[in-house]
A = this chain, B = another copy of it.
């Protein structure tokens, strides 16, 4: 068979033409990279060439990969594993130790200081990028598209300079929850992240929401945007400001959907791909399958607090282990700290676990989780109820979305003890409504015309085919008061 027939057959099989686009990716390390990697691998499998930007201290983003070529900038980003892990450890110590509000405030200030250093380092990265011949080599490489995580503005700045179409893989921007940068977000029914409010608010809750919005805008205006004024002016010239860089995005691939997120106004260039990383469960490794099967009719509980929280204070870990030990279920606990003295025979400590494959196993009865978006989406996909122990960032809000739908329960980890934890497990395990509600969410989530990853790929390739998606971008961005009016009422 002549090769051209193979090519034509391929084209006919694929909804979009298979052609070798060139994609330049600016990822964010840690759990964000887990997401970006899914898209990069899918782009690679569809014949696109992917270049990934990293720094010398990138910890998850490897220099060599079969799926991409890396471009390593000879600088440290300062955004490392330690940054968040240490913060969480200190936060747990302060909150659980009943330390003073002043100690908590000092920690927040220290954290703010570290964030400030990261912004300064990011600016240095941008300067290094533009002042070496790297930017020229990016220009020469004639990319079709910049794909970036908008937690930092680097990708948006490069896309603007190179005049390339810009696609965000987004849940957060450096200005907060992604929607707030792009869609009308009336504060009367759109809860700000961190408030743990739903879309049904009392008057006082709305007031609290508005105050939080003001405080958050103040933080962005004084502690984020000013760092970048200089580099934007220097490399992109006048007429560009920090917000306009983000509003220039052709597409926003949003890592949520409306099974997870409360219904809210959106925009034509927002593509929802929540759960795009989810896949049917693969068979477990033999030793895990054996352990799971040994649980008999009682089933298995799995627990993970995510990639960043390896260790817990000893008393907390002991309480958790002791509560698990009282259960007839088997437990798989991803934990890197010292082995708790109270650990029962029914509990397996692991450094890492195939979380999604376990969640998809019919024996799994409950997921004890910190509430990162990835884990919550996987629990929805597989229909496993959650007992939530949120710590920082969006974790309380993510879990709250599960709780208000009756598909899980939140426990305050800062004043949790063995009894509270045990009661929480009992409640979610024994009240069938939790599982029924999560299974309902799962049915809704899975009932989509296309898989979320395929939808994302379609639209990335759409932007390549048409060299942007200007017809989907609203005129509201030209309006000077739009950010104020978008949250009115």
Contacts and interface: CB of A to CB of B under 8 A. Distances in A.
A209 to B, nearest CB: 13
A449 interface: yes
Contacts of A102: none
Contacts of A462: 447
Nearest to A405: B471
Most buried by B among A183, A449, A485: A449
A479 interface: yes
A263 B474 contact: yes
Interface string A251-271: 000000011001111111100
A258 B268 contact: yes
B466 A443 contact: yes
Given A268-B264, A449-B458, A471 B199 contact: no
Contacts of A184: 184, 186, 265
B268 A263 contact: yes
A479 B263 contact: no
Nearest to A261: B268
A220 interface: no
A186 B266 CA distance: 13
Copies of this protein in the complex: 2
A449 B455 contact: yes
B186 A472 contact: no
Interface in A434-480: 443-444, 447, 449-450, 454-455, 458-459, 462, 465-466, 471-476, 478-479
A311 to B, nearest CB: 38
B450 A263 contact: no
A477 B39 CA distance: 37
A354 to B, nearest CB: 29
Contacts of A447: 462, 465-466
Nearest to A473: B263
Contacts of A444: 466, 471
A458 B447 CA distance: 9
A265 B474 contact: yes
A33 B478 CA distance: 39
A488 interface: yes
A415 to B, nearest CB: 31
A279 interface: no
A489 interface: yes
B488 A489 contact: yes
20 contacts: A15-B449, A184-B265, A188-B476, A188-B485, A189-B474, A189-B478, A189-B479, A200-B475, A258-B472, A259-B471, A262-B475, A263-B473, A263-B474, A265-B265, A265-B267, A443-B466, A449-B450, A449-B455, A482-B489, A486-B489
Given A188-B482, A189-B474, A200-B475, 19 more contacts: A15-B449, A184-B184, A186-B476, A188-B476, A199-B475, A262-B475, A263-B269, A263-B473, A263-B475, A264-B268, A264-B474, A265-B266, A266-B266, A266-B267, A266-B268, A449-B455, A481-B489, A485-B488, A485-B489
Which 7 A-B pairs rank lowest in CB-CB distance, beginning with the nearest? Answer: A485-B489, A199-B475, A189-B475, A184-B184, A449-B458, A263-B474, A258-B268
Interface of A: 15, 183-184, 186, 188-189, 199-200, 258-259, 262-269, 443-444, 447, 449-450, 454-455, 458-459, 462, 465-466, 471-476, 478-479, 481-482, 484-486, 488-489
